[in-house]
Structure 1
Amino acid sequence: MREFYYKYLKWIGEGNLHKDIILSTRIRLARNVREFPFPNQASEPQRKRFINKVEWVFKNDTKFNKDYDFLRLEKLPKLVSEVLIEKHLISEDQFNNLSGTGLIVRKDGKLSIRLNEEDHFRIQVLSGGLEINESWKMLQSLENHISEYFDFAFDNSMGYLTSCITNLGCGLRISLLVHLPGLTFTGKIKTLFRRLRSSKVLIRGFYGENTKAIAGFYQIASKSSLGCSEEELIKKMEEIALKIVNEEIKARELLFEERRRWVEDIFGRAWGIINYAKYLESLEAISLLSNIRFGIFYKIINLPIKLLDLLLILTLPAHLQVKLGREMDSEERDRVRADLLHDVFKNYKID
């Protein structure tokens, strides 16, 4: 179980484009197979028959069984499934209905396929920074490989058929995990979000759908794929991403120019708490890491952003428990989290 602590996180920090503002790009395709009922309409034997066929393909295809892992979620320890949720590799829906569900994931975690979630296949690419075009090419390649074995459900007027109407058409969804402390601290975030909503994108919290924003972290996601091509959606989301980056940079520069001491205080308080706190709750740790990340932009400290982005995941509740190989109550997790962050940051000094 402990091996899942660092597993599937090698993709973090790989991208270089705007990674100080865009933590990650996630794009995915929803696909269903003609010969099987959609997962939410299928009986348990039908769901298991589908995943058995996928497993047979996996075991007999050298591309998959060499570079990927095949996981049947119902056979995994509960903590491991929770870790996979924290890594954004499976969803709460899969976790709440494990029967006949699975995950195919490349060993670096960058490419993955959710099986029998809302759709038969949710093919996903995770990338660091802004990497929509590069991710799309990888997604296409993986989809084409799967289509050699499965006939996807398609209608000439509606496109690819999916369980949710918003995924009809090309079935593509693009989301960006962004860090916007500058816009948040200056109060300009509401103006930006009004403009984004008029562009028909979804604004979500740190953990995605139905969650609130934490410490300036937001998910910006495309709303619907019906009526537009993959190329149109990619172009639209790239334009939106660059607008967000430009607005955030302006806000950060304005803050440093007009309130430099306040900015340094935000960082200094976070640095002090992380280095001396004996207990840290999960949400508090995210907020502190956000402020440290903010300080890196201003070169207050020379610290790899990749390290901060890894810690945002490695300090989450399930990860801490997997690290120690056992369940812990919240108080013990808070202690372990504080010790972990202290051990990491004691090796760095403020410039």
Structure 2
Amino acid sequence: MARHDLLAHPIEWIKGRGSSSNIAVSSRIRLARNLSKYPFTHRCSKEKLLAIAEEVKHVISESDILKNSDVVEMDVLDPLSRWILVERHLISPPFANGGLGRVVIIDPKGVVSIMVNEEDHLRIQVILAGLELNEVWRIAKKVEKVFEELGYAFDPDFGYLTACPTNVGTGMRASVMVHIPALEMSKQVVKLVNESNRIGLTVRGSYGEGSDVLGSLYQISNQITLGLSEEELVDKVSSAVSQVVAEEERARTVMKRKLGISLDDRVWRAFGILRYSRSIASREALELISLIKMGSDMGITPEISVEEWNNLVLGVQPNHVQMYAGKELSPEERDVFRATFLRERIKAIENR
């Protein structure tokens, strides 16, 4: 996949077609699977890593649901293209470093992505917009079956065996990305984190473990993979996120009633900075984009669709900025180009 193809490749979750997608941005299920006849990746020889990749490619070539997918060797991609895939949540940050036998498979709709030879032999990911974990799980099960003929490492007592013990069992991470600026502004996020931990869930930044929270985007996922079925994990995360969506909606209603003109002023100031700034860093841009999307949802600023908002969030990411510019940029140049990108997009929204 050439660099220019990365921007043209559809990414389904960006379109915002899903339940409560103004708050529940996307739903993802990741399945960790290993092939029983090979050691875990960190114990594999170079020859075995390459053999795993070849076996997976062969299965894909004969699969009705995956045969038209893009199959990309990570070491063939330049670093900028790899990090574009990270920013689009198609691969993990560690996988972007490349390595022997590392391959990513992306289906034509941009719903399914499969990392080969990450921490586990297979990391199957399915992502859709909105709170749609049940549908995501339905698709993930179909994709998982494609590779069953390779023989998964499975123990009758412990379930699927994984390189990291915390993934043993279902090997599943079910997560939903949520946009919760009102809960953040009303300082209710600590309560959310504590309550999530109490029921076996975890709250992280938008790029998972160790990532910063930017633009009021949080990832809520299951913390344990052993002792509950996949369906129980999906139900647990879905139920918790439904409650978070309701809490965010209530917080917005209360905030609008209590803050009145001061909230309007804060949102319109954010709109003005995005409309007229000449240089802006990604962190500030994401904070302001978050504010104007909340303002749009509350009828304060012009309407911004979920798809437009998702494209704004992606468009200000460091590597997307450079891809749109068509060249590598210094941090200062990125800030200038980012501001230009935002002025054009916000002007189009304003003039509709």
Query: CA shift at 1:31, angstroms?
Result: 0.6
1:345 is aligned with what amino acid? Answer: I
Kept after mapping to 2: 8 A contact 1:15/1:130: no
Query: CA shift at 1:43, angstroms?
Result: 1.5
1:21 is aligned with what amino acid? Answer: I
Residue of structure 2 equivalent to 1:28: 30
Residue of structure 1 equivalent to 2:225: 225
1:135 is aligned with what amino acid? Answer: V
Kept after mapping to 1: 8 A contact 2:53/2:117: yes
* C-alpha distance 256-6 of structure 1, shift in aligned 2 (>3 A): farther
Kept after mapping to 2: 8 A contact 1:302/1:350: no
Give the 5 Å matches for 1:166-315: 166-300=166-300, 301-315=302-316
1:48 is aligned with what amino acid? Answer: L
CA deviation map 1:107-133 (0-9, x unaligned): 221111111001111111111110000
Kept after mapping to 1: 8 A contact 2:34/2:161: yes
Give the 5 Å matches for 1:94-133: 94-133=95-134
- Structure 1 residue matching 2:350: 3-state secondary structure: coil
- TM-score with structure 2 setting the length: 0.95
2:185 is aligned with what amino acid? Answer: F
Query: CA shift at 1:6, angstroms?
Result: 4.1
Kept after mapping to 2: 8 A contact 1:32/1:119: yes
2:81 is aligned with what amino acid? Answer: V
CA deviation map 1:29-68 (0-9, x unaligned): 11100111111111222111111222223334453232x1
Query: CA shift at 1:97, angstroms?
Result: 4.4
Rounded to whole Å, the distance in 2 between the matches of 1:81 and 1:108 is 19
Kept after mapping to 2: 8 A contact 1:2/1:324: no
* C-alpha distance 260-96 of structure 1, shift in aligned 2 (>3 A): same
Kept after mapping to 1: 8 A contact 2:16/2:306: no
Query: CA shift at 1:338, angstroms?
Result: 0.7
1:140 is aligned with what amino acid? Answer: K
Residue of structure 2 equivalent to 1:337: 338
Rounded to whole Å, the distance in 2 between the matches of 1:100 and 1:266 is 50
Residue of structure 2 equivalent to 1:317: 318
Rounded to whole Å, the distance in 1 between the matches of 2:166 and 2:95 is 19
Give the 5 Å matches for 1:118-157: 118-147=119-148, 149-157=149-157
- Structure 2 residue matching 1:157: 3-state secondary structure: coil
Rounded to whole Å, the distance in 2 between the matches of 1:132 and 1:299 is 29
Say which of 15, 18, 21 aligns to 1:16. 18
Kept after mapping to 2: 8 A contact 1:105/1:113: yes
2:101 is aligned with what amino acid? Answer: G
The runs of 5 or more residues in structure 1 that have no matched partner are none
- Structure 1 residue matching 2:184: 3-state secondary structure: helix
Rounded to whole Å, the distance in 2 between the matches of 1:324 and 1:206 is 24
| Equivalent residue pairs, number | 349
Rounded to whole Å, the distance in 2 between the matches of 1:292 and 1:53 is 48
Query: CA shift at 1:333, angstroms?
Result: 1.0
1:324 is aligned with what amino acid? Answer: A
* C-alpha distance 61-237 of structure 1, shift in aligned 2 (>3 A): closer
Kept after mapping to 1: 8 A contact 2:325/2:337: no
Kept after mapping to 1: 8 A contact 2:12/2:129: no
Query: CA shift at 1:17, angstroms?
Result: 1.0
- TM-score with structure 1 setting the length: 0.95
Kept after mapping to 2: 8 A contact 1:175/1:222: yes
% same residue: 33
- Structure 2 residue matching 1:348: 3-state secondary structure: helix
The runs of 5 or more residues in structure 2 that have no matched partner are none
Rounded to whole Å, the distance in 2 between the matches of 1:34 and 1:187 is 47
Kept after mapping to 1: 8 A contact 2:186/2:251: yes
- Structure 1 residue matching 2:99: 3-state secondary structure: coil
* C-alpha distance 63-231 of structure 1, shift in aligned 2 (>3 A): closer
Residue of structure 2 equivalent to 1:69: 70
